[in-house]
Structure 1
């Protein structure tokens, strides 16, 4: 018992000799290792060289998790005195542009500030402001991202006052008039069938609007003969 207590006390008196920050594989680059190190502050001091027994892991986790780019975090000490911090950063699914501000949101609808370190390639979204609108948007984005084609094809989303959506696409100058978020999976099936035919026929650039808001219909508006809309 004495030997155990002596060993524990001696281990606790050892100082934190280094810090290691690990990001989840494939994570975004909002945060850097040096940025995280600056959050590992306890008693107004960097934790390195502080005695292990004085390090409050819960406090450090709480401090780092308050950062808006952090989704999950774990902080722990190794026997040899290394403080390890593992972080999963938030993954943006859309960038909302409002009249006075712009920010990302993740799949949970959590707002993520823009970063000078990293720019996410996600759809630009207009007309979404309120929490319930953001929640609906995350549902729409989830459906879009379930298709590798539409995840790349749809580059902007606009929601109007009637809660109807219009998409801007990558492959041409036409718009997709999606309507309300009702029967979304059916609408995307109609769009898929239309795209398959239009790409095969090479007629996709003949259109200025593809409307799937009506039940069981795809209504297309063509460009003028001279190419003007």
Structure 2
């Protein structure tokens, strides 16, 4: 019985010593390498070298004694302050490596003459020399307070397969928003954000009719805001 107790105590002692030694090794182990994994998405504003540079500037490897001194949450928050980044995950390995997984924002609309794109959450993404996405454009007078409205209408367009292939431009007038489609040579007066389902159905129906009909006069604009009908302006 005494031998068993002694053996058990020795095992506990070895485990404690090993843990202390391992912890001491980790404390003395310096950050030696930063690996960056950029999540592949439709956007390509960033690359490994850009994110690596951001992390290196923030971490300052020569000043870090060990990876135990790093605040990984702080690094994630720092990366997420970059306008191109939607979210970031940063983690470290005992070998002294820091890994980061980056999820970029995906632009859905370009704001003409303003120098940025908008994503699904109304966040701004600055223009980049690295990547020029093919997205619809907002033209005309731009108001910051109407960003959410612009994004809401854009999402209606890009969430429908037919609209997504056609939608190329949007602008705002005094009475509401106007759209332009790629293969239909007329303006589409959408108006405000009310009754989006009804307007979508009327727009699809008119486009189908337009594609199979002939008109004596060129159509300049259609109005989707009038109850139970589409008003055509020649």
- Give me the TM-score of the superposition, normalised by structure 1: 0.84
Equivalent in the alignment of 2:148: 135
- 1:207-226 alignment runs, 5 A limit: 207-222=219-234
Report if the CA contact (8 A) 2:31-2:61 is conserved: no
Superposed CA deviations along residues 105-137 of structure 1, whole A, max 9, x for unmatched, are 111111211111111222111333123x11111
Where in structure 2 are there 5+ consecutive unaligned residues?
Answer: 1-15
- C-alpha change, 1:44 and 1:192, in structure 2 (3 Å) is closer
- C-alpha change, 1:82 and 1:44, in structure 2 (3 Å) is closer
Cα distance in 1 for residues equivalent to 2:223 and 2:191: 8
Q: Which of 49, 66, 74 is matched with 1:34 structurally?
A: 49
> In structure 1, the residue corresponding to 2:41 is in which secondary structure?
coil
> In structure 2, the residue corresponding to 1:188 is in which secondary structure?
helix
Equivalent in the alignment of 1:102: 115
The structure carrying a bigger strand percent of its residues is: 1
Q: CA RMSD in A?
A: 2.4
Structure 1 position 119 matched with structure 2 position 136: no
Indicate the structure (1 or 2) with the bigger Cα radius of gyration.
2
- Give me the TM-score of the superposition, normalised by structure 2: 0.82
Where in structure 1 are there 5+ consecutive unaligned residues?
Answer: 223-229
Cα distance in 1 for residues equivalent to 2:42 and 2:61: 25
Q: Which of 68, 72, 75 is matched with 2:83 structurally?
A: 68
The structure carrying a bigger helix percent of its residues is: 2
Structure 1 position 25 matched with structure 2 position 20: no
Superposed CA deviations along residues 67-91 of structure 1, whole A, max 9, x for unmatched, are 1111101100123332110111111
> In structure 1, the residue corresponding to 2:183 is in which secondary structure?
coil
Superposed CA deviations along residues 114-164 of structure 1, whole A, max 9, x for unmatched, are 111111222111333123x111112111211220111121101011133x1
Superposed CA deviations along residues 165-216 of structure 1, whole A, max 9, x for unmatched, are 111211133211222222121111011111222223476x953322212111
Give runs of ≥4 in structure 1 deviating > 4 Å.
46-50
Equivalent in the alignment of 1:227: none
